A and B are shown apart, each in its own frame.
Chain A
Amino acid sequence: MPDLRANGLAFHAQLLGQGPPAVVFLHGVVMDNLSSWYFSVAPAVAQVTPVLLYDLRGHGRSERPATGYTVADMVADLAALLDAAGARPRVHLVGNSMGGLVALAFALAHPDRVASLALVDAHVSDGGFGEQMAGTLLLEGPARDAAIATHFADWLGRHSERKRNKLAENARALVQGTSLVADLRASPPFDPAALAALSVPVLALYGEQSDIRDRGEALAATLPCCTLRLLPGCSHSVIWEATVQVREAIVQWIQAREAERT
């Protein structure tokens, strides 16, 4: 599909299946783009119902403005994209890592537009998030390569110097050339009372060994309708370490939510 214009920017988007999109996938930040969902889970979900994938602002083949990277900006992008794509009035959101945070923030801002959430090792906007992000992103040399290996297990990128360099250049341009890190740091944490009042059904998949597993446990304790599943032996890169389980869990989740709809 051609780029979608939304919230004043051109977004690279992919529609899989025919008809109004019912599921929207959100990828992680900096060293990620829509291709991680495109090659892992999205095609199987598209066999159930139409799917929309897009590159977050500044990422992949979407436009990269110098500023405007708060969570609220990304929520506004998604609202405008749903309109531009002619999506269903209520969509299922599937978010990985920071994409999960955006999905959750969207559900809090627009609960009437969300049918369900599937969060995969999602970050939660808490106090330490900005510092942690900034630390990981401002790396160089071998530490940089290690971070790429850990945080971006690109399906074709794991052993290639050309791709590692391109990813690193791209990450550096995004981190140093835009207000992304500062904007994410400045984004306010979620209000626990608002989370406790969110009635949308949520599936939370976390790596058993993930460094942010406690976020998943906190969500399960706070959200009124949240199913937490821990994937054994997995770190934060759950979608690469347990691709089959994540795909099956999300397909079943969407099938069940779609069945309730009719």
Chain B
Amino acid sequence: MSDKAEILDTIAGLIRQVVGEDWIADVDIGMDTSFSDDLELESIEFVALAEHLQQVWGDRIDFVGWLSGMELDEIIGLRVGQLVDHVAGCLER
């Protein structure tokens, strides 16, 4: 499994954990999956996801720094793959 596939796998698991409802188990979470349109993630759930990411990868990733460079529209349009790419980029450094 490539690095990104592993990261995607981890992030998909964290999303399922954060949502914590039955329906999410059957959703196929891929690189193109949109947090807003496809997963309907609530913003407070997204905060929880960020916290989980920090628990897994610690200070190697800077989620808040990443967000600080984004406009609201970009955040609303975020796809899982962009988060995977960001994490992969941080881990390479």
Interface residues of A (CB under 8 A from B): 1, 14, 16-17, 33-36, 38-40, 42-44, 46-47, 60-61, 154-157, 160, 162-163, 166, 240, 243-244
Contact = CB atoms under 8 A, between A and B. Distances in A.
Nearest to A243: B72
Interface of B: 35-36, 40-44, 46-48, 51, 64-65, 67-68, 71-72, 75-76
Contact of B72 (A40, A160, A163): A40
Contacts, number: 63
Nearest to A1: B51
B75 A43 contact: no
A60 B42 CA distance: 11
Contacts of A61: 44, 48
- Most B CB contacts (10 A, CB to CB) among A1, A43, A47, A157 go to A43
Contacts of B72: 39-40, 155, 240, 243
Task: Tell me if B's interface is mostly helix, strand, loop or mixed.
Answer: helix
A47 B40 contact: no
Contacts of A244: 71
Contacts of B41: 156
Contact of A154 (B43, B51, B68, B71): B43
Nearest to B68: A43
B71 to A, nearest CB: 7
A154 B43 CA distance: 7
A156 B51 contact: no
